[in-house]
Structures are given as structure tokens and as C-alpha cells.
Structure 1
């Protein structure tokens, strides 16, 4: 089996609270997962589960209080600013909001060239790479001369994906990259992620609250609940026949196009919630 590209071991993240001598609040309680080269691992959970915090910790944007993060076997848990700048070649991110993640004052060509120029790549080579990136994400070459406001939400997210691909990274952390888009645009962007991965071999950590979304793109799926990974396995198994009650609840909450089946799912979800509530009462 291939060695992991990214390995997270017993990771803990805690944020300080306001007030004198108040204990920090721990968001991640010893999380472990791995991502292999060329693989997509879906990380799914409800709002507040800690999934975005895990992505931020991998990017060096959250206060790690325990555990370790390794990339290609090297410990990057406490990487400093200089090391993070070097890691930017290999680890990139696509954020949730395609409107807020792009500088509205810059042309698309300048947005895409920025990470290339920051790595010392000459202007002429950067311009050629920008043209290549626009083609890669399905945008016309003349898109480089336009401003972000001239594009739809789906097109802006394509620009954000192109920016993440600019340095030919080995891993992209995708933080809810389609949740701000309508359903038809979501499907096209998800297909684009699959196509890009097949063509480039880039690995993806795909963060989402929607089990149906991660099913579409993931080889393996990790389910997070209140700061813990409660289930981690093959995508088709976790998203179709989950073992953990929380994952089953997520599955029952996912909408389906057939009214009768949707009604059955809602009834099953109510039964799961009632069962969990009864178990909590009995445990007291």
C-alpha cells in the first residue's frame, strides 16, 4: 500500500476563551486520518463538528495543542512562516466563498499569476501558465483580462480552483468549495474536481456538510462529530451503509428526488433521534 501523503495523528486543537484564567475550549479531541497520493478523502459533518478547524490546522491556521501532522513523512505540526511558504508549493486551499476569496480589484490574470510570481517565476512563464490554467478549468483564454465581478459564482470558483492548481500542488484542502453554489453549478464543479484529479494526480481533502457531495468525489470518507472522527472507511460503504448512528442520521437528512423515499428517510431519522435521546436519558 502507498505511504500516506498527509498523516494526521491524535491531533488536538484548542482556542483560548475570554476571561481571567478560563480554560481553553478544545475543538478537536485527538483526530487521526490520512490522505494518500492521488486520493480524495471526504471529511463530512454538521456545522460546528470541527471539520473546518481540521483543515485550518493542516494549513497552519489553528492553534495545535497536541498530536502531529506529517506531510510526505516530514513533521509540519510546528512549521514556521518560512517553512509554510515552502509548503505552499505542495499544499493549497480552495475556500467556500467564491465571492470573498478573490481580490475584486485584480484582473483574473493577476490573481492567477500572484502565487507564481511569489515563488520567483518569471513574468513570461507565469503568463503562459495562466493561459494553461484557464483552459484546465474550462474558462476562455480572454477571461484573464476580466475582473471577478464579471463572472458567475461557478466561474469564480473555477478561478479559485485554477489559483490552487497554479503551483502544481500535491494536496488541495477544499473547504466547503461548492456549498455557496446552486445545485446544477455544484454538479459541474464537482465533475471538474474529479476530472482535474484524474489528469494531474493531485490529492484532495474535501470538507463538506453534505454526505451526497462527498459521495460524488471521495475514495474514502471520514465522518466528524463534535471534534472526533466517528467513522472512516471506503466512500461507497460509509455513504451507503454506515455503521455509526450519527452517519446514518446524516444519510437520512440528505434529500432525495422521490417524495415517498424522502418521507421514509425523515421517519427513519426521527427514529434515530428518538433512540439517541432515550439512550442519553437511560445513561443519566
Structure 2
């Protein structure tokens, strides 16, 4: 028996209204349908302006759904009230792109990580105990709890952000370009951490990125967005090795490779494709 998808997007349309002739309306997503299974990573790939970030924001309730439906565990969540959306945050969390701005610089790591627990009625002693377990889960030292975000590197700050997303035991995390602000070696270590956490907890990821090399590292399946439409969806190996759509092939040629000669060849091939 095939399990029910954890997340389903059914012909989603997102439109932003205009303001007369000075600011015309804009349709960011054109009837997008996707699904994410429990414990799966769906990589969502596209260049700037493709609609991938808008899709993630729609799942989080941060972008208006003009038409279609979003279902989480069989329940429609496209038009939840603010109170219902807050209740859903236990199950759906987010890791944003920039670890430098996503953490409150005035709060210690302990305060950052206990805050989402304390609002649910967990005692402070229990919250602090859970924080130590979270720090261990993301491979940060115990004394990290007493320090401020500015005392950490970019990769470490992103680990703190991941710990915060994990604090309430979500079943789905929307990852919005979570490694794009990091150098390549740090990217690889953070991606390995995402995989490790998924294997340990069974959490599902909607992983938004512009980089096919990143989705090759972490995703089970990949959906490619181009101008607000899904142009290709398949297993990650198929998409990253032999894509069918010309746009996906251009993305693949744009992905970084360690061999400088091969990288130069890719740039030449991409230019020849227009």
C-alpha cells in the first residue's frame, strides 16, 4: 500500500495584485502540483524568479494562494486562520537562507532554542534539557548555549537555526536556500547534517535551491521550476545526470564542478545553448 503524501500541492496558483498602471499584477505560480512523502526530500530547483521561494512561502502560509489547494497530511492548509497556522507550526518548520539574519543577535543560543518550547507550556528546566540534546544533535558543543550568535561561524549559525527548527519535533521542514550563503566545504558538512537528521528522525524536507549540485547531494526526487511552472520532475539521479528539459540541462551546466577544465567546458556548452 502506497502511503498518503505528507504534503500535496494541487494546481497551486499564486498571484500578487497590481496597483493600476504603475504596478501591474504578477502571477508567480501557474497551477503547480507536487507532493512530498513522509521522510522524503523533494528538491525544488530553479533560477531567481522561477517561483521556487514563493512556493515554499505558500506552504508556510506566507504567500497568498489564489487558486488550487495545499494539503498537509490530508488536511487543507491553504487558507488557515492565523491561530490555526500557529498550531500547525509544531509540524511544519522552516530553515531560512541567511544564518546571519535569521537569529536574534541579542539572545543567547539557549534563549533562541528554549523560546519555541516555553510558549507551548514546557517548563524551563525541561526546555533547557531539550536544548542540550538539540545542540548534540547538530554537533555543537554544550557551552554553545551560553554564547551569542555573533560568536559563531556561518556554518555553526546555520546549525543553530536547524536546531531551532527541530525543537518541536516537526514532520516537515521547508529549507529555503539553507546553504547558499556558505562556502562549499561548509555546505557539504551542513548537507550531511540534514541527511543525518532525516535518517534519525524521519522528517521530510521541501528543499529549495538554485543549485543542482546541492539537490544531487540531498534529494530523493527533484522538481524543476521555470517561470512559475514545473517543467520536469523525476528521481534526483535522473534529473542530475540526464535531464530531459532544455532548461534543466542549462541548470546542470551551470552547476559547479571541482575540475577547472570541465567547468570551463560547461560554461562554453551553456553559452552555446543560449
Could you state the TM-score of these two structures normalised by the residue count of structure 1? 0.94
Q: Deviations over 1:75-121 (max 9, x none)?
A: 00101111111100000000001010000111100100111111121
Q: Does 1:124 align with 2:125?
A: yes
Q: Which residue of 1 is the match for residue 5 of structure 2?
A: 4
Q: Which residue of 2 is the match for residue 144 of structure 1?
A: 145
2: CA distance, partners of 1:5 / 1:212: 25
Q: Does 1:225 align with 2:209?
A: no
Runs of 4+ aligned residues of structure 1 deviating over 6 Å after TM superposition are: none
How far the C-alpha of 1:20 sits from its partner, in A, is 6.4
SS at match of 2:38: coil
2: CA distance, partners of 1:270 / 1:127: 54
How far the C-alpha of 1:141 sits from its partner, in A, is 1.1
How far the C-alpha of 1:256 sits from its partner, in A, is 1.6
The root-mean-square deviation of aligned C-alpha atoms, in Å, is 1.2
The 3 A distance-change label for structure 1 pair 119 and 20 is farther
Q: Which residue of 1 is the match for residue 109 of structure 2?
A: 108
Q: Which residue of 2 is the match for residue 164 of structure 1?
A: 165
Q: Which residue of 1 is the match for residue 35 of structure 2?
A: 34
Q: Which residue of 2 is the match for residue 92 of structure 1?
A: 93
2: CA distance, partners of 1:91 / 1:253: 32
SS at match of 2:241: coil
1: CA distance, partners of 2:192 / 2:263: 25
The 3 A distance-change label for structure 1 pair 196 and 270 is same
Q: Which residue of 2 is the match for residue 54 of structure 1?
A: 55
Could you state the TM-score of these two structures normalised by the residue count of structure 2? 0.97
Q: Structure 1: 5+ residue runs without aligned partners? A: 274-284
SS at match of 1:64: coil
Q: How many residue pairs were aligned?
A: 273
SS at match of 2:223: strand
1: CA distance, partners of 2:254 / 2:229: 20
How far the C-alpha of 1:212 sits from its partner, in A, is 0.2
Q: Structure 2: 5+ residue runs without aligned partners? A: none
